[in-house]
Amino acid sequence: MSRIAIQDLKRWKQESHRWVCLTSYDAPSARVLAAAEVPVVLVGDSLGNVILGHGSTVPVTMDDMVRHTAAVRRGAPDLFVVGDMPFLAAQISDEEAVRNAGRLIQQGGADAVKLEGGGPRVSTVQRIVEAGIPVMGHLGLTPQNATQLGGYRVQGSDPQDALRIAEDARALEQAGAFAIVLECVPVELAATITRVATVPIIGIGAGPDVDAQVLVYHDLVGWSGDFKPRFVRRYARVEETMIEAVRSFQQDVARGDFPCESESFSGSQESTSAEDFPDDLQPEQERQTSG
């Protein structure tokens, strides 16, 4: 498939064509998403939890994001790739935010960047867009400041909070964001924002009335241990399959069934003989004989 353009995503919204976005953190998973013709791939800072084993996304650095974004680009050269701006990549100054966003484009090969938050982040989004870099917004539950939000919980449940999120969505759109992720917000709020927005709204834990859905690839295929948020539907049990494969390998080795003849190399007259090896690599008996 040819690479999706931002104009295609906006047209899909007008046509009520729903689409998906999935996370990817490395070349092998990107290759799977490319084969499945997933239109948009997000290299999320969730790699901190999913790949690097951290308890949150906060420890993820710009170097981490550039490295993993580049790996995804190599695995899926024709997909539309969005690189996440990690913690403190955009908060210190707009100038540094533009510079970091540029790294994801220049060094990581991303087509666009994603930036968490509204309010003070709106002017940052505008500055990055003015620099010629497409920006995807992210509102609702923003994991980088989950502590401020009272933990990983639904946002926008009370009228004042819902109004703030709706106003932030409008401000991000006016600042030039080409799409907005809504994470863990009530169905009604997501539906209202989707209805009035002119840019695609991508939901995760935001109900069915959005323009697109995003999930973590590892959650989707059952490769995330016991972690299973309410909004995740598992379509496979990959981790269970992997465990069984490793167990079977160990059993075959213990029984002497691996490797078999077809998995081994046979000798021939033209093959290397023991005499071709240096003395220190020859069996002890042969070294004594040759001496």
Across the range 86-101, mean pLDDT stands at 96
The pLDDT-based confidence of 281 (bands split at 50, 70, 90) is: low
Q: Note the pLDDT of residue 1.
A: 72
Structural domain includes residue 224: yes
87 φ, ψ (degrees, to nearest 5): -55, 130
What residues are paired with 131 via a beta bridge? Answer: none
Across the range 252-272, mean pLDDT stands at 85
User: Is the domain of 165 the same as that of 194?
Assistant: yes
To the nearest 10°, report the CA torsion of 22, 27, 31, 34: 50
Across the range 258-262, mean pLDDT stands at 95
Give the H or E element holding residue 22.
strand 19-23
The pTM of this model reads 0.89
User: Is the domain of 113 the same as that of 158?
Assistant: yes
Nearest to 40 by CA among 124, 105, 114: 114
Q: 69, 50 in Cβ contact below 8 A?
A: no
Is the pLDDT at 214 greater than 60, yes or no?
Answer: yes
Is the pLDDT at 170 greater than 60, yes or no?
Answer: yes
User: Is the domain of 52 the same as that of 190?
Assistant: yes
Structural domain includes residue 289: no
pLDDT in tens, 150-165: 666 899 999 999 999 9
User: Is the domain of 132 the same as that of 223?
Assistant: yes
Is the pLDDT at 211 greater than 60, yes or no?
Answer: yes
The residue segments making up the domain with residue 88 are: 6-233
20 φ, ψ (degrees, to nearest 5): -125, 155
Mind giving me the DSSP string for 150-191? TSS-----SHHHHHHHHHHHHHHHHHT-SEEEEES--HHHHH
Percent of the chain predicted with pLDDT > 70: 89
Is the pLDDT at 273 greater than 90, yes or no?
Answer: no
Across the range 142-154, mean pLDDT stands at 71
State the catalytic residues.
183
User: Is the domain of 204 the same as that of 252?
Assistant: no
Q: Note the pLDDT of residue 227.
A: 85
pLDDT in tens, 29-80: 999 999 999 999 999 999 999 999 999 999 999 999 999 999 999 999 999 9
Is the pLDDT at 148 greater than 70, yes or no?
Answer: no
User: Is the domain of 136 the same as that of 119?
Assistant: yes
Structural domain includes residue 124: yes
Q: Note the pLDDT of residue 266.
A: 85
Token pair 């004042």 in the structure block, residue: 160
Is the pLDDT at 287 greater than 80, yes or no?
Answer: no
Total number of domains constituting the chain = 2
User: Is the domain of 153 the same as that of 259?
Assistant: no
Q: Note the pLDDT of residue 63.
A: 98
Is the pLDDT at 193 greater than 60, yes or no?
Answer: yes
* Own/partner long-range contacts of 255-261 (Cβ < 8 Å, ≥24 apart): none
Q: What is the Cα gyration radius of the chain?
A: 25
Q: Which of 211, 233, 255 is the last residue of a domain?
A: 233
Across the range 246-265, mean pLDDT stands at 96
Is the pLDDT at 146 greater than 70, yes or no?
Answer: no
